[in-house]
Structure 1
Amino acid sequence: MADKNIESVKADNQITGFQLFAMTTSMVMTVYGFAAFAKQGALALFFLFLAGILWFVPVTRAAGEMASIDGWSKGGIFTWGRHLIGERLGWSAMFYQWIHITVGMCTMMYFIIGCLSITTNLPVINTNPVFKFILMMVILWGLIFAQQRGTKVTGKISQWCFSIGVIVPVFLLLFLFITYLVKGNSVLIKINMHTILPQKWNGETLQGLTPFILAFAGAEASAPHVKDLKKPSVYPKVMMALAVCAILSDIIGSFAIAATIPNAKIQLSTGIVYAYGILVQQFGISAGAVSVIEKIIGFLLALGIVGEISGWVVGPNAGMFEAAKEGFLPKRFAKANRYGIETNVMILQGIIVSIMAALITFGAGGNGNANVPFRTAMSLTVVLYTLMYMLMFISYLVLTFKHEDLHRTFYAAKSKAVRVIMGVLGLVLSALAFVVAFFPPADYAAPQKRTFVTLILIGFVIVLVIPFILYTFHKKWLADVKNSKEVNND
């Protein structure tokens, strides 16, 4: 009877390759990055190859293999790391994965506010730091409050927001851009081997890799589902299809902007909205109608990213909640409310996001230039996230060299040599993305460059040491959790 129940549970949890594809799509389709890609012009193709193929494939395959090991399907990077490189580093890797989104949310909220500034015809909310910060707090704490009665309803809202605010606009952009090209309209960029490859291999040029790495980051979160697949062998095909779709959407989005808006005039938080306006003009629509379309598109895109933030508010906190129940945070964070929501962890995340938002929004300055805080937030996000990825690939290399005996249902590659190459390639590209994220964009003035580097360094150093400081209290907090009757173990 017990065996039948186990088989029944397994059957209920099984998913198809298409379902896994749908679940992971929102993690790597980031419309808020299109304008940042467009700033690179034709060079975007080179960075898409680096991030979308040479980096993304090792990430998904290495994560898939580690998640398929017996008993390692839950906990993600925390479980993999603690078994392969030790509890301290495993905890640190999970902390970096969790903390990166505190900055990543700032990038998303900047995009939302940029879109809403067009919808409401109030550009001041996108250029004035005070107004921008107030709106960020409304968005952030509004979403946190909305999650407190359970995730079922908000999960559906997130799905609908993503479908209406991301999928629909992307397909509309595809139609408009293809029509624009077929009609023989002029484009502002030239694509050839000379423009695709970097002319200078310095930090300021390679800094352009930053938004592309961020665009493909996060797919490792779907790796634990490899054991739920009816056919685990389809996992690499699903991830490759995801990479192809993400690359195509990124090419369409970035080139639609780069082809229609002069590079110097591309605003990172609003560029994609104005690209729609230029593309619909080809149909002879009046200026008033174009303005209305831009307002509608701005609202839809803002809605889509609200849905994405909603998912990030819930997702990473579940892992941190489990860590709190194992004594990696004070016992108050191991408590859930009556709806099973980890309220205290969410509040902690909200406080950190608020601090980061204030630091970047007011510290980055920009003198009314919305690009400065947006780029700063994006670069700091990559610095923090690649810390986790470097630890993940080190874990994978340890697995490959030292633990061939561990049973797994999926291998990144049949050949051990190929698996080693994947691990090394992922580690090297993660390290490259980490380093170049510290370089300020070439078009910054000297004071802006100093501010940019200072903020990135401060954020990096603080976040780097936090998990190690917290770990010194691990034994005490673990004892507190075990002795407390208030801990929610459901």
Structure 2
Amino acid sequence: MKQTEKKGISIFALAMLNVVAVVSLRGLPAEAEYGLSSIFYYIFAAIVFLVPVSLVAAELATGWSEKGGVFRWVGEAFGPKLALIAIFMLWIEVTVWFPTALTFGSVSLAFMGPNQTWDQSLSENKFFVLAIVLAIYWLATFVALRGTEAFAKLAKWGGLIGTVIPGVILIVLGFSYLFAGNTPQIELAWKDVIPDFSNFNNVVLAASIFLFYAGMEMNAIHVKEVDNAPRNYPIAIGIAALGTVLVFVLGTLAIAFVIPQSEINLTQSLLVAYHDMFVWAGIGWAAPVMAACLALGVLAGVVGWVAGPSSALLVVAKGGYLPRFWQQTNKHGMATHIMMAQALLVTLISTVFVVLPSVQAAYQILSQLTIVLYLIMYLMMFAAAIYLRYSQPNRPRPYKIPGGSLGMWLIAGLGFIGSLTAFLFSFIPPSQIAVGSPETFVAILVILTIVFVSIPLLIYKARKPHWRDPEVTDFAPFTWEIEDKHPGVINPSDKVTHTLHQPN
């Protein structure tokens, strides 16, 4: 009994897993370009995206806690074809995202040197960036293959050392710099909080802020491992959401106080800000130490993202939706073939850094592709949450968005509209960043989106009965399967799926 309790994930551990999954300091320079108006974008995106994601994921995860995560939720509402698209989008978007996250890790390592000019030059070297990206990713994969206990510990302590503490230091130093009487690099006037909406490019680049808030639903796959999940899961999500907004808003302003807008670089400015702040505080020696901490934070975040979506896809594979080859696991129960395939894809995608005009260009195009793919999954999740209120009205939901159907429409509907808006804007190249030909930029996004959406459709069409692992007894069928109905048909039952399904 004691061993079982020891394995349970506490509120703090789950909140930290979500903070590590969601909070990344690497994106702050992109929003620092907006100065005080970044406050508006962060709060707006939190209202129309972060809060809806957090509340909807809490209801879905506690109401449909059977294995599968977003695959389960979308499948209950719309059937397995769309569910497979949703879970594949989660897996493939993170595969595309890894090089952008790891670029920041490589820049952090470059800034561990004693000379900032040399450090900046090294961080702009494409081959150095590529080598470090691949080294960190393969190390993260090795750690993730050692099982949940290994990556949970790294996520917990790596997130604390590499994300939370650096975030607090950034905020404290940035505001200390301001309160000490130094002239900030931005104007501090309340009128500047409201963006200039006449400049369409501001809205386009600001759409990337949605990616900052993505990931709050990722750890829903571990809901059964949470102590007292109906109570603790929503609490942990709430803590993580509030902490995320505060770190992003205050951290972005700290950078904007120190770095002139014209000198902001998407991959370097955070490290430059730390260096300048530490020199100002008389502790310049701390800059390389902070760079090492940030690199550790990147590793911790990547390990969680390697393990989470791959574990979710493994569950779906064993349920009969992917060939048996992709169901291979090691002694720790980790999806070896899925994770190795992902590692090879990350290696291939990372070579984009050598092809595109600059590291910044590669960073931006991969970031926007990640947003597009991820938002497809979110659009499905929000739609499923609304539809399930009608198709399974009596399903027990330990956590339920208040306000009845109207409350669900307001919260999930707001999230759907916000996600759809950001999705459309993500196909427009921002003029602030040189990405080569705008036509080529858009063409790459459109073609890759079509390709990645088509893959799960082709897999579903080719599925075979023998794909289902006969030894799997904990992957419950959908409610409509048990009752021999079609997806979306109204089910008045108040039984949860696992009580209806009794495996032989």
- TM-score when normalising by structure 2: 0.85
2:420 maps to 1:431: yes
CA deviations 1:88-141 (Å, max 9, x no partner) are 001110110111111111111110111122214444543233332232222222
Which of 327, 333, 358 is matched with 2:326 structurally? 333
CA deviations 1:379-424 (Å, max 9, x no partner) are 1111110010001011111112332122221211133212111111
Letter in 2 for 1:365: P
Which aligned pairs between 1:318-467 and structure 2 lie closer than 5 A?
318-358=311-351, 360-366=352-358, 370-445=359-434, 447-467=436-456
2:260 maps to 1:267: no
* Alpha-carbon distance change, 211 to 84 in structure 1, aligned in 2, over 3 angstroms: same
Note if contact 2:29-2:255 (Cα within 8 Å) is conserved in structure 1: yes
Tell me the equivalent position of 2:171.
Answer: 174
Tell me the equivalent position of 1:34.
Answer: 28
Which of 50, 53, 56 is matched with 2:44 structurally? 50
Tell me the equivalent position of 2:482.
Answer: none
Identity %: 27
Could you tell me how far apart the structure 2 residues matched to 1:333 and 1:446 are? 36
Deviates more, 1:229-238 or 1:385-394: 229-238
Which of 444, 457, 466 is matched with 1:479 structurally? 466
Deviation at 1:231, TM superposition (A): 7.7
2:167 maps to 1:153: no
Tell me the equivalent position of 2:216.
Answer: 219
CA deviations 1:53-75 (Å, max 9, x no partner) are 22111111112112222x53421
Secondary structure of the equivalent of 1:447?
A: coil
Tell me the equivalent position of 1:196.
Answer: 193
Note if contact 2:33-2:264 (Cα within 8 Å) is conserved in structure 1: yes
Letter in 2 for 1:361: F
2:82 maps to 1:89: yes
Tell me the equivalent position of 1:255.
Answer: 253
CA deviations 1:351-404 (Å, max 9, x no partner) are 22122222x3134322xxx32211222111111100100010111111123321
Could you tell me how far apart the structure 2 residues matched to 1:447 and 1:27 are? 31
Note if contact 2:74-2:83 (Cα within 8 Å) is conserved in structure 1: yes
* Alpha-carbon distance change, 354 to 419 in structure 1, aligned in 2, over 3 angstroms: same
Letter in 2 for 1:25: V
Flag structure 2 segments of 5+ consecutive residues without an equivalent: 476-504
* Alpha-carbon distance change, 145 to 432 in structure 1, aligned in 2, over 3 angstroms: same
2:71 maps to 1:78: yes
Could you tell me how far apart the structure 2 residues matched to 1:446 and 1:234 are? 44
Tell me the equivalent position of 2:276.
Answer: 278
Note if contact 2:174-2:258 (Cα within 8 Å) is conserved in structure 1: no
Note if contact 1:63-1:220 (Cα within 8 Å) is conserved in structure 2: yes
Deviates more, 1:138-147 or 1:84-93: 138-147
Note if contact 1:393-1:423 (Cα within 8 Å) is conserved in structure 2: yes
Could you tell me how far apart the structure 1 residues matched to 2:370 and 2:384 are? 22
Deviation at 1:295, TM superposition (A): 2.0
How many residue pairs get aligned? The number is 470
Could you tell me how far apart the structure 2 residues matched to 1:128 and 1:446 are? 17
Could you tell me how far apart the structure 1 residues matched to 2:334 and 2:106 are? 28
* Alpha-carbon distance change, 374 to 298 in structure 1, aligned in 2, over 3 angstroms: same
Deviation at 1:235, TM superposition (A): 5.3
Letter in 2 for 1:429: G
- TM-score when normalising by structure 1: 0.88
Higher helix share: 1
* Alpha-carbon distance change, 149 to 10 in structure 1, aligned in 2, over 3 angstroms: closer
Letter in 1 for 2:129: K
Could you tell me how far apart the structure 2 residues matched to 1:182 and 1:445 are? 35
